[in-house]
């Protein structure tokens, strides 16, 4: 078909959640991995979820429905399958689905140990994607089976769907060169030819529209993005037979890319009007011939849309564009399915919220108001205005005691500690640790027994006292295990914690923890981000009793385990009525109080984790320094209340650390443990380049793969680390917490880790 027959549409969303409203896909995938169900049973669950998703959108009034947004693990991994770029090491896995999971998770297949693809953050969200590998001999080849199957599936229930694919610029920009290859973006012309082949195939199938996601265009991470976009989409737009092309951008404003896209033959451009700016549209006259898909409903936070203000913005868009479609700003992958199951939310807070289903309803409502006038949605606007008024008078959003105390601490300059070298001497005198001390990051496996106990407590089958005793038994078992393994610095294992952010949110004022607000973090890993809606305060100690109990069981030091202020913000849905820096400082003050109480309880090592430090990094260079300044200030505020002989650790993971490497040094933690196994210690060179001179624990094995690393592998990793870090500053630890691993895997892996440390220690 030609583009002239492509139907116009008025209301859409850029994508949908895929794990299921009750995490049905997570459970099915994990059962498949453990061989409790077969492929047919897994596919049946997936098909049901896909069908339910498109039906819900159609029933809600969405008139262009995205497909190919479903994934068993990750949409970037799906794109690698589509483009034929799975790494050669998975090729011997004969079953295609198992090959897919081998690339995602690694493991042993037919006696072969396979390393997974690296994982990192999807732009500045809490979603993780699998990084494609582009080698010199990588040959792009089209495998459209998944897209075609999902189109057929939608057609079988009379839905003319719009397939969604990751764009060629974004795909290559987020890929990694391996085996001496040049920058992946250098292969753009070659890859564009494969996209042209796909578009012609879709046209032959009768597809009216295709959505090509190019969020990289909202960044300045690659030079000449506008020119690249102009070249690619001029070429694809010039195809004689193709679907209408909708290039979706999101997560920020467009600069050079907007006029560049507007001057190509494509039909529609998606702009993020939540995190972008509507004024830029008026400066591009060529938009008068385009459809602008206006991302006016926030796809990544849970606050209700101000309908009146949104209509004002849409009126501005309409003056600049040939046609306007109302949409979410990005996929609703980043928010929970529906507000309906949340029965415990007070009316004042509930009135301000919109989860996935509610956001779809807002899109349809705004499309109606844009087409028919404000009077057509007068009651909805009245409700929206009432919610905004109620929010402005809620006293929970203005705790004067906390604000005054924070001002006083800042005025006193209480966000620094003594000189790092002096601290190191005092800490070694207190701790007397061996060279290359071994430790773990914090969590140990959340066993079936732990989950059952937690469920029994929620259901009232056991009381709080019985639950606490069960968790104490787990702590005692973890302490005993670590002592038996010979680990030097212990942790209590965190059996009492449901999640490293939610656990604290449930104990801090200003937060609400949902019952069923699940979102996908990566693969089958789902989290329930709490809602940070008001001023934050710590009414009482949160972790002290657990840490003190664990320490009472051993003569070895036990780390107190806390989550840092930036990560608590990054992994929550955060209020949008004040600067993030102010909210971070409030959270930091609560964590500071906890560190002081841990120290008073005799805890000599306190770990304040910031795995999300890079996650909140703005996508544009001009905004990054301000963010890094306040994020470092928040961490130092949180950790500066303890004595110099109390050792502060932090942990970072799942990021490309290059842009924040200076900030990692500025945190001034005594020991920084950091993801390094998948990237083969590359981060240490970057740390050295900025003069990092404190303790560091580069992960010696990847805990996100089910395979157990050998002692020899970890000896090699430690020797690589020692080439960059002197032994007196080097720690030995896994990449991350062990919560998601099985106990037998953990025991064998840690036994090998301790053995490796002993071998390398003896070499010094």
Place of tokens 């500025």: 666
Place of tokens 């597809």: 207
- 58 CB neighbour count, 10 Å cutoff: 16
Determine whether the annotation assigns residue 636 to a binding site. no
Contacts of 584 (CB under 8 A, 6+ apart): 565, 566, 569, 630, 631, 634
Determine whether the annotation assigns residue 653 to a binding site. yes
Determine the Cα–Cα distance for residues 305 and 381; give it in Å rounded to an integer. Answer: 10
Determine the Cα–Cα distance for residues 115 and 717; give it in Å rounded to an integer. Answer: 15
- 116 CB neighbour count, 10 Å cutoff: 22
Nearest to 522 by CA among 211, 138, 118: 118
Determine the Cα–Cα distance for residues 571 and 520; give it in Å rounded to an integer. Answer: 12
Determine whether the annotation assigns residue 633 to a binding site. no
Determine the Cα–Cα distance for residues 753 and 179; give it in Å rounded to an integer. Answer: 28
In angstroms, the Cα distances linking 434 to 71, 400, 425, 761, 762 are: 46, 47, 14, 9, 11
Determine whether the annotation assigns residue 25 to a binding site. yes
Tokens describing residue 253: 């404003």
Determine whether the annotation assigns residue 615 to a binding site. yes
Catalytic residues: 704
Determine whether the annotation assigns residue 443 to a binding site. yes
- 243 CB neighbour count, 10 Å cutoff: 26
Determine the Cα–Cα distance for residues 236 and 505; give it in Å rounded to an integer. Answer: 48
Determine whether the annotation assigns residue 670 to a binding site. no
Q: What are phi and psi of 12, to 5 degrees?
A: -155, 175
Work out the end-to-end distance of the chain between its first and last CA atoms, rounded to an integer number of angstroms.
70
Determine whether the annotation assigns residue 484 to a binding site. no
User: Is 199 in contact with 210 (CB distance < 8 Å)?
Assistant: yes
Q: Mind giving me the DSSP string for 211-279?
A: EEE-GGGGS-SSTTHHHHHHHHHHHHHT-SS--EEEEE--SS--STHHHHHHTSS-SEEEEESSSS-TH
Contacts of 408 (CB under 8 A, 6+ apart): none
Place of tokens 């952010």: 501
Tokens describing residue 8: 């116009």
Determine the Cα–Cα distance for residues 724 and 692; give it in Å rounded to an integer. Answer: 11
- 723 CB neighbour count, 10 Å cutoff: 10
Determine whether the annotation assigns residue 571 to a binding site. yes
Helix (H) / strand (E) containing 523: none
In 276-331, which residue ranges form alpha helices assigned H by DSSP? 279-282, 307-320
Length of the chain in residues, anyone?
764
Determine whether the annotation assigns residue 126 to a binding site. yes
- Sheet containing 509-512: which strands, arranged edge to edge? 509-512, 531-537, 573-574
Q: Mind giving me the DSSP string for 106-158?
A: -EEETTEEEPPPPEEESTTSS-EEEPPEE-TT-------HHHHHHHHHHHTTT
- As annotated, the binding site for 5-methyltetrahydropteroyltri-L-glutamate includes 23-26, 121, 126, 525-526, 571, 615
- As annotated, the binding site for L-homocysteine includes 441-443, 494, 609
- As annotated, the binding site for L-methionine includes 441-443, 494, 609
- As annotated, the binding site includes 23-26, 121, 126, 441-443, 494, 525-526, 571, 609, 615, 651, 653, 666, 675, 736
- As annotated, the binding site for Zn(2+) includes 651, 653, 666, 675, 736
């Amino acid at each position: 078909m030609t583009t002239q027959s492509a139907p116009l549409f008025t209301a859409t969303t850029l994508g949908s959640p895929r794990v299921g409203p009750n995490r049905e896909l997570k459970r099915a995938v994990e059962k498949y991995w453990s061989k409790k169900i077969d492929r047919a049973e897994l596919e049946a669950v997936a098909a049901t979820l896909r069908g339910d998703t498109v039906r819900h959108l159609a029933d809600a009034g969405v008139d262009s429905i995205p497909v190919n947004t479903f994934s068993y693990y990750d949409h970037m991994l799906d794109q690698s399958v589509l483009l034929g770029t799975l790494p050669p090491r998975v090729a011997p896995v004969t079953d295609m689905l198992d090959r897919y999971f081998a690339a995602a998770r690694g493991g042993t297949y037919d006696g072969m140990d396979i390393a997974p693809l690296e994982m990192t953050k999807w732009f500045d969200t809490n979603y993780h994607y699998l990084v494609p590998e582009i080698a010199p001999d990588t040959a792009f080849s089209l495998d459209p089976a998944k897209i075609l199957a999902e189109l057929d599936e939608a057609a079988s229930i009379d839905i003319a769907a719009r397939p969604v694919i990751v764009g060629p610029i974004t795909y290559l920009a987020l890929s990694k060169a391996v085996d001496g290859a040049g920058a992946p973006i250098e292969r753009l012309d070659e890859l564009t030819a494969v996209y042209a082949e796909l578009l012609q195939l879709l046209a032959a199938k009768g597809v009216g529209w295709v959505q090509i996601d190019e969020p990289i265009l909202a960044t300045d991470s690659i030079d000449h993005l506008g020119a690249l976009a102009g070249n690619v989409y001029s070429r694809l737009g010039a195809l004689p037979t193709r679907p209408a092309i909708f290039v979706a951008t999101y997560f920020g404003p467009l600069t050079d890319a907007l006029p560049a896209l507007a001057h190509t033959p494509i039909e529609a451009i998606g702009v993020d009007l939540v995190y972008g700016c509507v004024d830029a549209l008026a400066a591009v006259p060529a938009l008068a011939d385009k459809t602008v898909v206006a991302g006016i409903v926030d796809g990544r936070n849970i606050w209700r849309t101000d309908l009146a203000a949104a209509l004002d913005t849409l009126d501005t868009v309409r003056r600049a564009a040939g046609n306007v479609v109302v949409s979410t700003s990005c996929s609703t992958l980043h928010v929970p399915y529906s507000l309906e199951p949340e029965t415990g939310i007070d009316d004042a807070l509930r009135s301000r919220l919109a989860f996935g289903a509610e956001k779809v309803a807002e899109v349809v409502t705004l499309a109606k108001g844009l087409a028919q006038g404000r009077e057509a949605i007068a009651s909805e606007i009245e409700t929206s205005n009432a919610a905004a008024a109620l929010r402005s008078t809620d006293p929970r959003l203005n705790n004067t005691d906390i604000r005054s105390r924070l001002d006083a601490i800042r005025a006193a300059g209480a966000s620094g500690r003594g000189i790092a070298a002096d601290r190191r001497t005092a800490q070694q005198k207190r701790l007397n640790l061996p060279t290359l001390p071994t430790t773990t990051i914090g969590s140990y496996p959340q066993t079936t027994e732990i989950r059952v106990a937690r469920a029994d407590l929620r259901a009232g089958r056991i009381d709080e006292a019985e639950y606490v005793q069960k968790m104490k038994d787990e702590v005692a078992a973890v302490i005993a295990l670590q002592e038996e393994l010979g680990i030097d610095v212990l942790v209590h294992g965190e059996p009492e914690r449901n999640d490293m952010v939610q656990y604290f949110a449930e104990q801090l004022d200003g937060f609400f923890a949902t019952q069923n607000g699940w979102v996908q973090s990566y693969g089958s890993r789902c989290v329930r981000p709490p809602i940070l809606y008001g001023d934050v305060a710590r009414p009482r100690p949160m972790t002290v009793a657990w840490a003190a109990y664990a320490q009472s069981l051993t003569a070895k030091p036990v780390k107190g385990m806390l989550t840092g202020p930036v990560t608590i913000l990054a992994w929550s849905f955060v209020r949008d009525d004040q600067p993030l820096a102010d909210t971070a400082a409030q959270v930091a003050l609560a964590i500071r109080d906890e560190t002081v109480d841990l120290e008073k309880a005799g805890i000599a090592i306190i770990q304040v984790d910031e795995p999300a430090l890079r996650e909140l990094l703005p996508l544009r260079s001009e905004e990054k320094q301000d963010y890094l300044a306040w994020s470092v200030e928040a961490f130092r505020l949180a950790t500066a209340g303890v004595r110099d002989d109390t050792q502060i650790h932090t942990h970072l993971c799942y990021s490309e650390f290059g842009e924040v490497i200076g900030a990692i040094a500025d945190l001034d933690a005594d020991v920084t443990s950091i993801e390094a196994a998948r990237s083969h210690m590359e981060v240490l060179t970057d740390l050295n380049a900025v003069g990092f001179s404190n303790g560091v624990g580069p992960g010696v094995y990847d805990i996100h793969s089910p395979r157990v690393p050998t002692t020899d592998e970890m000896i090699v990793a430690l020797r690589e680390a020692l080439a960059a870090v002197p032994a007196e500053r080097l720690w030995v630890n896994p990449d991350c917490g062990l919560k998601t691993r099985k106990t037998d895997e953990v025991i064998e892996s840690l036994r090998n880790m301790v053995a490796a440390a002993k071998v390398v220690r003896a070499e010094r």
